[in-house]
Chain A
Amino acid sequence: MRTAVAFSNVSRHFGAVRAVDGVDLEIAEGEFFAMLGPSGSGKTTCLRLIAGFEQPTSGHIEIFGETAEGVPPYRRSVNTVFQDYALFPHLSVADNVAYGPMIRGVAKAERLKAAEEALALVRLPGFGHRRPSQLSGGQRQRVALARALINKPKVLLLDEPLGALDLKLREHMQDELKVLQRTLGITFVFVTHDQGEALSMADRVAVFNHGRIVQIGSPEDIYQRPRTRFVADFVGSSNILPPDYTKAFGGGANWASLRPEAMRIVATEGAAMTGKITGLRYLGAGTRVTVETGVVPPTDERGAPLHEMAPLLVVQVPAGQPVPAEGELVGLVCAPADLHAMAER
C-alpha cells in the first residue's frame, strides 16, 4: 500500500507558540484517518499543512511521494471541506460545486453535468439552482463535500465537518461519510475533537496534545490501551487508576486504565478495593454502577490518606446479573491482565 501523506519531524511555530511540534506520521492510501485532540492541540494546523495553507517551520512533508513544502494549495491534488463550509455566497449551488472544473477550464455544459452528478452523490439532486443561503446546515455541508469530491482529490481533508450539525444529523452524516469513503476509496483525513466520532469512523486515530501526537493507532488500541493518562482521560469511559490503586488491584506501581466491563462487584471481605455505590445507570445491555472509593481512602504507612479526592470508579454489570442497591458498600476485583499500564504524561 502506498503512503498518501507522510510527516517527518514537522513543526509549525507561530512566534513563541509551537502549534505543531515535531510530528511524525504516515497515512496510507485509502485510509480513513482521524486527528483527535482538544482545541489548540495542533490537529487543525496539521490539516492546514497538508492542504498547503500553512508551511512547516521545519521538517518534511510528502504527499504521494512528492515534496509538499513550497507547493501552493492550488497545485496540490488535495481538497478540503472547511469547518464553516466556505461556500461562495455569490454563486449558485451548481456553480459552487463546479468551481474546481471551472478553474481548470472545463466547458460550462460539461462542468454543470459533473456538478449535478456530484450533488447526486451527496444526495442533493436538483439543488443546483439554489443559493447557499437557502440551504440548511446539513445541506451546505453536503454541498461543500460535493464541491471537494468533484475534483477527484487524492486526499480529502475534513476540518470538523460535522461540528455545526445537530446530534441526529451528525450521527447520520457519520455513517454516510464512512460509506462514501469506502465507495470512492479516497484517503480521508478527518479532524475532530469528538472522540466518539473519531473512534466510530476512522481506521486509525492520532491523538494530539500540545502540538504533538501522544498516541497513534486503531480505535480499539486508543480505547482499550491508552498509552498515557491524557489519552485515557480524553477518550473517556475507561477508569483511570493512580499507581496505588493499580497496586491494590494486583498490578504494578503505575498509572493504569481499566475498562468498566473488566471489573466485578463482590463482597467487601477480601476485595481489592471497597466503596459505596453512588449512582446506577441502566443502559439495556447492562447497568453502569458508580462506586465512590473514598469511603475507605487508601492510606500510607502513617495512616494519612493518599488522595485528596479518591477516584470514582465505573463498573459495568452485565444484564441478568444482580445489581446492588444505591448506598450499598461493595467490594471490587478485576483480573490483573485487564489493567493496562500507561504513562502519567
Chain B
Amino acid sequence: MNFASNLSDALWRRPRLTLALMLAPPLLWLGIIYLGSLFALLAQSFFSIDEFSGLIRYEWTLKTYGELLRPANLDIILRTVSMAAAVTLASALIAFPIAYYAARYARGKWKALFYLGVMLPLWSSYLVKVYAWKLILAKEGILTWLFAKLHLTWLLDAWLALPLIGGNSLSVSYTGTFLVFVYVWLPYMILPTQAALERVPGSMLEASADLGGSPAQTFRHVLLPLALPGIIAGSIFTFSLTLGDYIIPQIIGSSRLFIGQAVYAHQGTAGNIPLAAAFTVVPIVIMGFYLWMAKRKGAFDAL
C-alpha cells in the first residue's frame, strides 16, 4: 500500500471531508475575491469625500447617497435605466421570431446553423464589434451611404432631427447606442427564449387551435405565457448588461453619461471613490429587485 492509495481509501471512507476539500477552493475564491470585493465596495459608499482636500473621510455617513440623489446624477440613472429597458424590449421583440423558428421548425443542419449564427458574434472581441459599428453608423459610414443609394436620406435626416434620440449622426446619437446594445446582447435573449419555446409541446398549440383559438389568440393565451419565463431569463441578461456597460456609450453615443461611465469617471479622474461606489449600488439594487420579480415568475426554471 503506497501513500496515494492509502489517501484515496481514507477519503472514500469520509465522503463529507472529500466534498469539503473539493468545494473549499472555489468557495474561498467566491467568498473572498468576489463577495469580499463587493462588500468592500458597498462599505466605500458609506464613506464620504472631503470637498477641500479631496481625501476620503472614513466615517459612516449617508452623505454620499445624498449626493447621488442630485438631479444631475438622477438623470444619469434614469437615462441608463430607460436605455436598458428599451434595449430589453427590442431584444425580446427581435429574439422571439428567431427563437420560435429555431424551436419549432429548424431541424438538423438548419438547427446547427442557427446556433452558429447566434453564437458566432459572441466569439469575436467585444471592442472590435463596437468599433465596427462605429464605422457602420458614422456620418461617412455604410449606413449613410446605403440610405443615399436607396434615396432615403430624407428619412435618416428626419430621424436624426428628432429631439433626444437624434443627433449629428447615428454614431453620436442615442439611436446608435441603442442599436449597438441590441446587437451585442441579442444572443443572450435568443437562447433562453428558444429553450423555453422548445419545451412547449406542439399539442399545446394544436389544443388551443382546436378549442377555437386563432393564431393571435393562441399566441396571447398559450404561447406567450409559456415562453415568458424564458423571455424574463433573457431580459435579466440584456437588462443587467446594459445597466453596467460603460464602453458602448463611451464609443457610440452622445457625451451624456451612463451609470458605468459615471462610475469610471468618479473612481478615476475625479477620485471620488465613495460616489463611484454609490453609483454601482444602483444597478445592484435594481437587479436585486428585478431578480426577485423574475423568480416569482419562474424565470429560473428556464435557465
| Chain A residues near B (Cβ < 8 Å) | 51-53, 72-74, 78-80, 82-84, 86-90, 99-100, 102-104, 147-148, 151
Contact = CB atoms under 8 A, between A and B. Distances in A.
B222 A74 contact: no
Contacts of B209: 52-53, 72-74
Nearest to B207: A86
B204 A86 contact: yes
Contacts of A83: 203
B207 A100 contact: no
Contacts of A73: 206, 209-210
B207 A151 contact: no
B231 to A, nearest CB: 14
A331 B203 CA distance: 56
29 contacts: A53-B206, A53-B210, A73-B206, A74-B211, A74-B212, A74-B213, A74-B214, A79-B211, A80-B206, A80-B207, A80-B210, A82-B206, A84-B201, A84-B203, A86-B204, A87-B207, A88-B207, A88-B208, A88-B222, A89-B226, A90-B225, A99-B211, A99-B221, A100-B212, A102-B221, A103-B211, A103-B212, A103-B221, A148-B210
Interface of B: 201, 203-204, 206-214, 217, 221-222, 225-226
Contacts, number: 60
A89 B208 CA distance: 13
A82 B208 contact: no
Nearest to B225: A90
Contacts of B214: 74
Nearest to B217: A103
A86 B206 contact: yes
A211 to B, nearest CB: 21
Contacts of B221: 99, 102-103
A80 B213 CA distance: 13
B204 A151 contact: no
Given A86-B201, A88-B222, A151 B206 contact: no
A79 B204 CA distance: 14
B197 to A, nearest CB: 14
B203 A99 contact: no
Nearest to A73: B209
Given A99-B221, A103-B217, A51 B203 contact: no
Contact of A151 (B201, B211, B226): B211
B211 A82 contact: no
B210 A51 contact: yes
Contacts of A88: 204, 207-208, 222, 226
B196 to A, nearest CB: 12
Contacts of B203: 82-84, 86
Contacts of B225: 90
Contacts of B201: 84, 86
Contacts of A82: 203, 206-207
Nearest to B205: A86
A337 to B, nearest CB: 48
A62 B8 CA distance: 74
Given A86-B204, A99-B213, A100-B212, 6 more contacts: A74-B214, A82-B206, A88-B208, A103-B213, A148-B210, A148-B211
Contact of B212 (A51, A84, A90, A104): A104
Contact of B211 (A53, A72, A89, A100): A100
A147 B211 contact: yes
**Closest CB pairs A-B (n = 6):** A86-B207, A86-B203, A73-B209, A100-B211, A103-B212, A90-B225
Contacts of A72: 209
Contacts of A80: 206-207, 210
A151 B211 CA distance: 8
Contacts of A151: 211-212
Nearest to A82: B203
A297 B114 CA distance: 64
Contacts of A74: 209-214
Contacts of A53: 206, 209-210
Contacts of A99: 208, 211, 213, 221
